[in-house]
Amino acid sequence: MERVNCGGWIGEIEVPDGWVRRLISMWAKLGGGQRGKAMSDELTFSSARELAERVANQQISSVELTQHYIDRIERLDGAVNAVVVRTFDSALEEARAADEALARGESLGPLHGVPMTIKESYVMRDTPSTWGIPAYKDNVSATDGLAVKRFRNAGAVFLGKTNVPIDLADFQSYNEIYGTTNNPWNAECVPGGSSGGSAASVAAGFAALEAGSDIGGSIRTPAHFCGVYGHKPTWGIVPQEGHELFAGVPDSDLSVCGPLARDAADLALALDVMAGPSEREAIGWKLDLPSPAFSNLSELRVAVWPTDEMAPVSAETADRVANVADKLAALGATVSDTARPDFDARKAHMTYQSLLTAVMSSAQPAEGVPMMQKFAAGFAADDSSTEAVNARAAVMLHRDWIRHNFRREKLRLAWDAFFQEWDVLICPQFTVPAIKHDHRPMTERTIEVDGAERPYFEPIFWAGLIIASYLPSTAFPTGPSTTGLPIGLQAVCGPYRDHQSIEIARLISEEIGGFTPPPGFE
């Protein structure tokens, strides 16, 4: 016996297991009480807040909405391969529970009945969390992790989980378990990584909201590639508990968890859901992020950093930074293209590389350490090449890590001084729009920037500039390139000014256009 809500009618019907979802799908495709077509046209790319409002006002049921997104995934995801773990039956159960709660006059939270997907690396009951690593293909959890719990407590309905690169360590999202995820704007291109499936799901209209993670641009680069919004929070405000291969892992340095969406205001809502102390920390402290310290764009003091010799960006990307700067200046903002924090960008990047490699290499097998130590010893002491920096960082002593941490603190102090004078930094997220699939060994890959072959990981400079000092950054779309691929930029603010960077991204997008659906997914 199944209890079903269809367009406001709630009743019980007796059908074989698994048939309820199919019956609801058939009903929705027939029109859903003359609302099916309108739902498809009006709601697919609505914001999570708008959808929650419509469910609350009973303009649409959560079951209808959930089935609508299920139908889109089943019809369109074959060309994208974003939602690789599907929990459709349980999603409809959650949606029915949301509708029944609403009928009783109960609110489950700001996302009551809103369908979403989430990155595969998060822990969610009865689903695998593999991080794309074949050895963990059977790593299925019996319980929800903290982030999933918080979204469920806010009323969200989970449709499934989205694809990642192996070990979350690539600009591309492919692995042996789930295959390759394509960019909805161009299937020959990547959606980014490691939250590539997340950005593709949101861009293609498979869900209203997503959660990803970022240690090397893994939220912001996919947002840039797919033309959506992504927020990298200030380090430490969102617990990493529940974003893990196995329980009991402490929060790692640099890495953060954060949201992706088609609407900047949804980032603020989702951040408030995700952020705050874990159960242990909540005994002694609470989070109180400040509201934006401005009322309109004309009040802002804006620094722009269009390109850098450390990671030269395409002329079109640099022009997009300049265009945004010109727009802000025309609105009355104070704009500078020469203001910079008081540090050497090359040394700052070396600090980030060293801290990043320390995290990423921490799980290397013990038998590989002597070989890496020998390899690192082969570089001259004054060799500051990427290869030398990474080799030394992979086997550094703890005292060496502490020295890098001291260098990081100097960077943070320089940023503190910078943000005393400037409200926001606008800069690129990546050197070019979405790159084409390339599954060769990473050492053989390059990225073409205006006809020049550049090192594959060089663009991480733009992500690391922000990550190393724990700053918040919001990636926002600025419209397509001449090749039709999105170009996104970063709005970076001082520590804990997360709502300010999100609000600046939102207001800029109001001026220049914001999210648009990829062709073929409208």
Cα separation, 434 vs 511, in Å, equals 24
Helix (H) or strand (E) holding 232: strand 229-232
Cβ distance 481 to 433 under 8 Å? yes
Tell me the one-letter amino acid at 101.
A
Cα separation, 420 vs 396, in Å, equals 35
Cα separation, 243 vs 213, in Å, equals 8
Burial class (CB in 10 A: 0-12, 13-18, 19+), 139: middle
Q: Is the dihedral of CA 110, 115, 120, 125 positive or negative?
A: positive
SS3 480: strand
Quote the DSSP letter at residue 380.
Answer: -
Length of the chain measured in residues:
522
Cβ distance 162 to 118 under 8 Å? yes
Q: Identify whether 194 is preceded by a cis peptide bond (ω within 30 of 0).
A: yes
Do strands 157-162 and 115-119 pair parallel, antiparallel, or not at all (unpaired)? Answer: parallel
Burial class (CB in 10 A: 0-12, 13-18, 19+), 68: buried
Ramachandran angles phi, psi of 257, nearest 5°: -110, 140
Closest CA to 158 of 119, 188, 190: 119
Helix (H) or strand (E) holding 301: strand 301-304
Cα separation, 81 vs 189, in Å, equals 13
Cα separation, 157 vs 69, in Å, equals 11
Closest CA to 199 of 113, 156, 258: 258
SS3 350: helix
Cα separation, 374 vs 397, in Å, equals 14
Cα separation, 3 vs 363, in Å, equals 48
Active site residues: 119, 194, 218
Cα separation, 20 vs 227, in Å, equals 35
Ramachandran angles phi, psi of 228, nearest 5°: -120, -175
Neighbours of 455 (CB within 10 A): 12
Cβ distance 430 to 221 under 8 Å? yes
